[in-house]
């Protein structure tokens, strides 16, 4: 169950409106690695944990915080949109700044949301749950989380570089710091689980049931062998259970597939037509 | 540039058709962590690497291999669909197996693809590039890759548990082994980059520009403090640059946001209407 | 900013697992009118309100509650999935219940989420922000909210009819009651705004700028005139500003459109080709 | 069955081309509340009505009209796109208007549709049936329709404010008037159904089966109690069957959920791993 | 502008309800090649034709007819859903037919649409305008249309094979006949345009601007040379302007790409990190 | 199985960066008819062919080539993005070119992909498998392929017209030539199959089972009879099995549909409510 307070976790006040930056900032609100994604990802993972210990608590702590970040960004975007112009080209052409805004801002910020933030990314794609991950296996999912925080911090940093507004930069520098923590915390949790389970997910599948002859092999399938000099092609494997090896010239291990004909009620191309390899005369039509 | 040979990388031959399992197997072909996802993810990452060394080579090697895995799964699914029944309920009811197949198989395998595999997951959602990740920052992206191989191996293992078909199990045990390798290889690459760059992505953002006072803080936002006992709340941070700390009762650091009214041409609810807090009499309507 | 407590707003415990019902129940968690939709819809509306009075408070109150409902449903679904079988058809055919479950359950509940709830609907479509609405105009948005609670309660009622599990019915009867309240509250808020603004959204557009000659006209565009007997075709209009009228035989008021040719650099079909109305001889090919 | 005449319902002729406005106008053709949405929403509702009276007739009348509106907008957009420039930046930079057009127009209007309208919104998202609603319950659906016409008229009004083209304004003022009618007509139909059924959808669910103790309660879940002063927290409920009440400090009514472990064949994190709350030493890695 | 009559273009009455077939039949209503797709595809093409002759008329004729087909299918599906059961597994298990229906029907037909047809395909994916095509070039678009009618007729035929219901078969045999006509008509229109413009789209691009040395070459990029025996590798090209030729061992014509480093404000992996090809010692961690 | 070489099939080097054109060029990489679409379409068709002859070989040859085209475009786009500016409006306003770039480029090229190509189209919609087609019937699918190459070549030609960069034009002229070949090859393959099977897909459905009385009829459903003068309304049908005819005034052949009421557990609007056609008094509320 959730309680809301109206104060923001951290301030979200730009020096001045900037509808173009509002559009860009949508990326970290409603994009693939925006705050909606991490909030719902952590909450869904937490709700699915089949146990009630510290991992679940950590997920719920962090999920609740990400909800606060959605709120901060929604507030910031609404403020960046204040006074966004509408108008047509003749007017716009007289003032290059107005022209650039009208050409470059997200038109839905005026037409659809009425100067509010949207659950969408920087090009206007609406947020989709295709972005989130919750598998029931925490080592797998914490890796998803570490990735999300890595991509997310990278995007916030790129946005930080794109503005000179001190108010915006102030809020972004706070979000960047939180992403520093979140990367650190998922690394800590991952290392703990790896220490308990070893590094390959899932750790519970019996090793003898996999084809171990190819469990540590790098196939050189892109001509040129620079990849041969990587750690992944030499020495003990990272799980400590094998030795990396490199196959310079990999060959197929299977046959050419030959599929049986489809039943007639499917109305695929008939085998008789498929088998006919006689070339029609060049003047056929 | 790519060359194709018609032999499969590894055999893909079930003991017998099984349209229900064909539907399930679609998950690891065309789902969020299916082979289409990893193939295109690695290739797009490789094409974006701004340099030509071993990391790019590794990405192209693995991307090319994943194309072969799409092919194996497409072949296996086409064979599992051979002889899939069509028909209506009266017929079906006479034979519970036929009934279960007709009720449970993906109808598009008959109607749309004509007993071929589809670029879709196990419930029929078509594959989307929303699933893939390529940021230009390799440490971030290798974490995405490690996650993808973790989720992917987990899903293949779950499918392995769901069938008794020896031919299917044989192919899956081969894919599981390859996922073992791929998890190992991305871990190796990640460790190498972390050794060069430290663990927080991006490593190139000046630390003094982030709000370092919250860079290592866990806020207890889900009541109950089990998370306080985790590694993430105690001791040196994983990046070695700070010390984890725990805030038992976090409070807001920002103000209640008060947004300015919208311009009249936006036609949002008027401030005069919004401000009116007088309650209408209960018999208003 | 949000705080979470681990207790549920209301209990969510089925009498027994039922993976088929788990699949159906996903509709009101992650479907078009599921709890994710109303939670995010109310929160985004609240964050966009340009004012800080009772309407914003009401939106945030209700948005926070809907987060709790997501949690209840996620918990219920995870429990309904406990012990979900996996297996293949030969086994399934021996037990019709197992067979029906294997054929009918959402395979992603086993393969993808590991027996956890998913942010998806009852056929497996992932939740999308295309479902939600926040325009900055509260009368418009409260109508969206009333619709959402109407559709949502209707769906929960249909699910209530579909199960005999007393634990499930208990939780659903609680959600149905909350939807009763939410319909009542949005009606109350709508009536208040309509009393202030009149009923047509937006109320701020000058009436003289619209083509008032068709502002209260019903065009009979589907042959048969039963619609002529409705309130909407007779008497004063609902906004009190006009009189409904009915046009039995509507005719076009515009011309046939004739578009100018495209510039040559667009490579549309050439005007010369389009204009050529000479029919080729029937034996042309 | 449908018949088409080539004349437009109302004229759709701009004074001059304006590719930027063409892009914006797409919102009310192919956006969430554009004409495709209302046309298909009303038609699908009409086709599902299980009865043949005035409501079905009204739905078919209005659905047929919305098809005509799609046509008007498609024609207008094609004309706004006439002569849209193509070219590159060096050329564009010499003329700020050309530059703004090239930067701001929808590139698919040139590349994909060849200067024709697209079934997409103002940022280029293709129309999706996720936007539409047809439940078989007319009171619910008429509320959806009233919302759609409210959002739609609001968007058309915002577009009207964004242009000085008299031809465009002429057509928009006609569409605005039609939306005035459509809001009025759905209100009329809603009031009629509410008079017959009372206001809570569905009206056919027995009241004694819902948890009536929370059917009229507002839970104050966002700190601050401005919402307590609303009509929704005081006096008789809008359905006349209860009395609104306000809970200042709501508490959870359920327990902390404790989920049972997953079966081993699911390969979620093992209970033994989850239960282990011993913190590893800080120098673990 | 459109007029509707309530009679169906052709009857749509099944012998008896069949909720499983209702689900399958959705494919040709709301799937990629369903009636919504062809209706909107032809109408959008018609609205974009920059001319007013017979091609536009043909498009509008056929588009209007496809609207009637949507209506027939929506009616048929609503009737197939009549009396669809709801219930839970214990009940279902007693009657294998009920069990198969409950497991196999689309749950949204009960929960969401209230026994009405949906704008979705046979697995429940909602219709999307991603399916449709209108380019402004009629030869290109008529090829899209011929493809749509070919895929569509194939799917209807497969559905015809899947039922023994005479009422359903009667309607499907009518739709199959219409698809026969529509394939014939688009072939006729294509041949006419090809006679005017030659066969390569667009016909208006100057031949000397393309790299004519590869305009008629088949590159053998999948090892094995069966494709060498096809018409496409021998004799005059179909446009009559060249001669097909076959390259048995194609080689790259470009260089290895070497991308320049990204600017520092993008925070991609640093060139210094990328260039470092020194392998870390195997005991690095 | 696939092998990759790092050399490009053809060079992909622009004269200079152009982030606006990079955005536009995305259309033919990741749009509906971009290279991802044709690559995966041909490969999936090839994997589903139930036979191993020249058609399968041709599909695999061409699919493998299209993978190379993805690579060329990804490389070109990465180079066009080199040095893309970031920044805010104050800076931008000083230089109209910078302003146009900042307003017009795809912001995800900076924020998300770090100056790499994306699997998305020119407005930022991510690629989706909804675009591709593989039915198991080769005549149907080759028509899909001919359409794809027609739309694709048209789009590349339009892009060619939009740039003056000689390096870009060089690569595009190569792609245009390949599309010339691919249109020619699919036409060749189609003609061969048509010669074997006749022109209506599927050719295997018995003619006597379709309603032959409407198999060659054009219904004039858009008032005006220009379409009567087309080849499609006169003379022998294209399949040689009938004669085209034209119905000037088509009438419905079916009845008004009357659907039975829904069962009470569905909670649709009650028949008693639906049947009530008594109009409430105009002063009802």
For F65-100, what is each residue's pLDDT tens digit?
999 999 999 999 999 999 777 666 556 656 766 777
Residues 116-175 of F with CB under 8 A from C: 154, 157-158, 161-162
Q: How many CB atoms lie within 10 A of CB C164?
A: 14
pLDDT digits (tens, 9 = 90+) for A57-98: 999 999 999 999 999 999 999 999 997 776 665 566 567 677
**Alpha helices by DSSP H, D132-260:** 138-161, 166-197
| Of the partner residues E65, E128, E147, the one whose CB lies closest to the CB of residue F144 | E147
Residues with Cβ within 8 Å of F95's Cβ and at least 6 positions away in sequence, in order, are none
Lowest-confidence region among A8-12, A49-53, D225-229, E113-117: A49-53
Instruction: Report d(CA E246, CA E243) in Å as an integer.
Output: 10
Report pLDDT for C85.
74
pLDDT digits (tens, 9 = 90+) for C231-242: 999 999 999 999
Closest C-alpha to C135, from F233, F155, D150, E72: D150
D267: annotated binding-site residue?
no
User: Phi, psi (5° rounding) for residue F41?
Assistant: -65, -45
Cβ neighbours of D67 in E, within 8 Å: 2, 67
> Which of C112, C129, C285 is the best residue to mutate to test the A interface, defined by the most A CB atoms within 10 Å of its own CB?
C129
Which residues of chain D, if any, have pLDDT below 70? Answer: 86-94, 96-97, 276-285
Q: What is the mean pLDDT of residues C185-203?
A: 97
pLDDT digits (tens, 9 = 90+) for B178-195: 999 999 999 999 999 999
Q: What is the mean pLDDT of residues F136-141?
A: 98
pLDDT digits (tens, 9 = 90+) for F36-68: 999 999 999 999 999 889 999 999 999 999 999
Asked if C162 and E114 come within 8 Å (Cβ–Cβ), the reply is no
What would the two tokens of residue C237 be? Answer: 């209009």
pLDDT digits (tens, 9 = 90+) for A154-187: 999 999 999 999 999 999 999 999 999 999 999 9
Residues with Cβ within 8 Å of D245's Cβ and at least 6 positions away in sequence, in order, are D216, D217, D218, D233
Residues with Cβ within 8 Å of C261's Cβ and at least 6 positions away in sequence, in order, are C268, C271, E50, E51
pLDDT digits (tens, 9 = 90+) for E184-242: 999 999 999 999 999 999 999 999 999 999 999 999 999 999 999 999 999 999 999 99
- Size of chain F in residues: 285
pLDDT digits (tens, 9 = 90+) for A103-121: 789 999 999 999 999 999 9
Cβ pair D195, F284 in contact under 8 A: yes
Q: Is the pLDDT of residue E27 over 90?
A: yes
Report pLDDT for B275.
76
In DSSP notation, B95-147 reads -HHHHHHHHHS-HHHHHTSSS---SB-TT-PBPBGGG----S-HHHHHHHHHH
Q: Is C224 left (phi over 0), alpha (psi -120 to 50) or beta?
A: left
- Size of chain B in residues: 285
A220: annotated binding-site residue?
yes
Tell me the CA distances in angstroms from A273 to A279, B117, F47, one per residue in order: 12, 22, 17
Closest C-alpha to C159, from C167, C150, C168: C168
pLDDT digits (tens, 9 = 90+) for E97-106: 777 777 789 9
The interface predicted TM-score of the complex, written ipTM, equals: 0.94
Cβ pair E187, F26 in contact under 8 A: no
Asked if D235 and B277 come within 8 Å (Cβ–Cβ), the reply is no
Residue A181: in which H helix or E strand, if any? Answer: helix A166-197
pLDDT digits (tens, 9 = 90+) for F146-162: 999 999 999 999 999 99
E57: annotated binding-site residue?
yes
User: Phi, psi (5° rounding) for residue F133?
Assistant: -140, 125
Report pLDDT for F23.
96
Instruction: Report d(CA B180, CA D72) in Å as an integer.
Output: 58
Give the closest-approach CA distance of B76 to chain C in angstroms: 16
Instruction: Report d(CA C106, CA C123) in Å as an integer.
Output: 8
Round the average pLDDT of chain C to a whole number and report it.
Answer: 93
E249: annotated binding-site residue?
no
| Of the partner residues F58, F205, F266, the one whose CB lies closest to the CB of residue E227 | F58
- Kindly state the percentage of chain F with pLDDT values over 90: 86
Residues 220-239 of D with CB under 8 A from E: none
Give the closest-approach CA distance of C21 to chain E in angstroms: 7
Confidence of residue B274 (pLDDT cuts 50, 70, 90): confident
C54-80 vs C166-197: helix crossing angle, rounded to 10: 160
CATH of A19-197, one of 1.10.40.60, 1.20.1260.10, 3.40.1710.10, 3.40.50.1860: 1.20.1260.10
Report pLDDT for C284.
37
**CA-CA-CA-CA dihedral for A19, A24, A25, A30, to nearest 10:** 120
The domain locations on chain B are 19-197, 207-247
Report pLDDT for F93.
59
A69: annotated binding-site residue?
yes
- Kindly state the percentage of chain B with pLDDT values over 90: 86
3-class DSSP state of D208: helix
Report pLDDT for F282.
45
| Of the partner residues D27, D125, D164, the one whose CB lies closest to the CB of residue A88 | D164
Report pLDDT for F47.
97
3-class DSSP state of E45: helix
Instruction: Report d(CA A115, CA A137) in Å as an integer.
Output: 41
Say which DSSP state F53 is in: S
Q: Chains touching chain B at 3 or more Cβ pairs under 8 angstroms?
A: A, C, D, E, F
Closest C-alpha to A156, from A64, A49, A70, A29: A29
Report pLDDT for E52.
80
Instruction: Please state the separation of Cα E78 from the chain's center in Å.
Output: 25
pLDDT digits (tens, 9 = 90+) for F2-35: 999 999 999 999 999 999 999 999 999 999 999 9
Q: Is the pLDDT of residue B279 over 70?
A: no
> Which of F26, F131, F265, F269 is the best residue to mutate to test the D interface, defined by the most D CB atoms within 10 Å of its own CB?
F269
Cβ neighbours of F184 in E, within 8 Å: 199-200, 216, 232, 237-239, 242, 244
Give the closest-approach CA distance of F229 to chain C in angstroms: 6
Assess E260–F contact: CB distance below 8 Å, yes or no: yes
pLDDT digits (tens, 9 = 90+) for B67-91: 999 999 999 999 999 977 776 655 6
3-class DSSP state of A247: strand
pLDDT digits (tens, 9 = 90+) for D81-122: 997 776 665 566 567 667 777 778 999 999 999 999 999 999
Confidence of residue B284 (pLDDT cuts 50, 70, 90): very low
Give the closest-approach CA distance of E220 to chain D in angstroms: 31
| Of the partner residues C86, C157, C266, the one whose CB lies closest to the CB of residue D265 | C86
Report pLDDT for F101.
78
Confidence of residue C51 (pLDDT cuts 50, 70, 90): confident
Q: Is the pLDDT of residue C98 over 80?
A: no
pLDDT digits (tens, 9 = 90+) for E261-283: 999 999 999 988 987 554 444 44
Q: What is the mean pLDDT of residues B199-206?
A: 97
Cβ-Cβ contacts under 8 Å between B and C: the total is 146
């Amino acid at each position: 169950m959730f309680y809301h307070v109206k104060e923001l976790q951290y301030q979200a006040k730009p020096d001045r409106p900037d509808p173009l930056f509002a559009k860009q900032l949508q990326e970290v609100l409603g994009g693939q690695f925006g705050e909606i994604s991490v909030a719902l990802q952590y909450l869904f993972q937490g709700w699915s944990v089949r146990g009630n210990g510290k991992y679940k608590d950590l997920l719920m702590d962090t999920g609740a915080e990400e909800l606060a970040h959605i709120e901060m960004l929604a507030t910031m975007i609404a403020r960046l949109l204040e006074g966004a112009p509408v108008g047509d080209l003749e007017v716009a052409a007289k003032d290059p700044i107005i022209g650039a805004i009208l050409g470059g801002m997200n038109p839905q910020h005026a037409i659809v949301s009425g100067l509010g933030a949207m659950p969408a990314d920087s090009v206007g794609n609406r947020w989709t749950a295709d972005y989130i991950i919750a598998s029931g296996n925490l080592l797998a999912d914490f890796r998803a989380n570490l990735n999300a925080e890595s991509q997310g911090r990278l995007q916030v940093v790129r946005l930080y570089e794109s503005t000179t507004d001190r108010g915006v930069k102030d809020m972004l520098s706070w979000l960047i710091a939180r992403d520093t923590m979140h990367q650190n915390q998922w690394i800590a949790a991952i290392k703990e689980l790896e220490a308990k389970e070893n590094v390959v997910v899932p750790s519970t599948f019996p090793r003898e049931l996999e084809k171990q002859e190819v469990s540590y092999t790098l196939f050189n399938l892109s001509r040129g062998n620079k990849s041969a000099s990587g750690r992944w092609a030499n020495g003990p494997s990272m799980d400590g259970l094998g030795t990396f090896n490199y196959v310079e010239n990999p060959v197929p291990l299977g046959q050419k597939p030959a599929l049986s004909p489809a039943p007639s009620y499917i109305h695929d191309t008939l085998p008789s037509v498929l088998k006919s390899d006689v070339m029609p005369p060049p003047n056929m039509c």
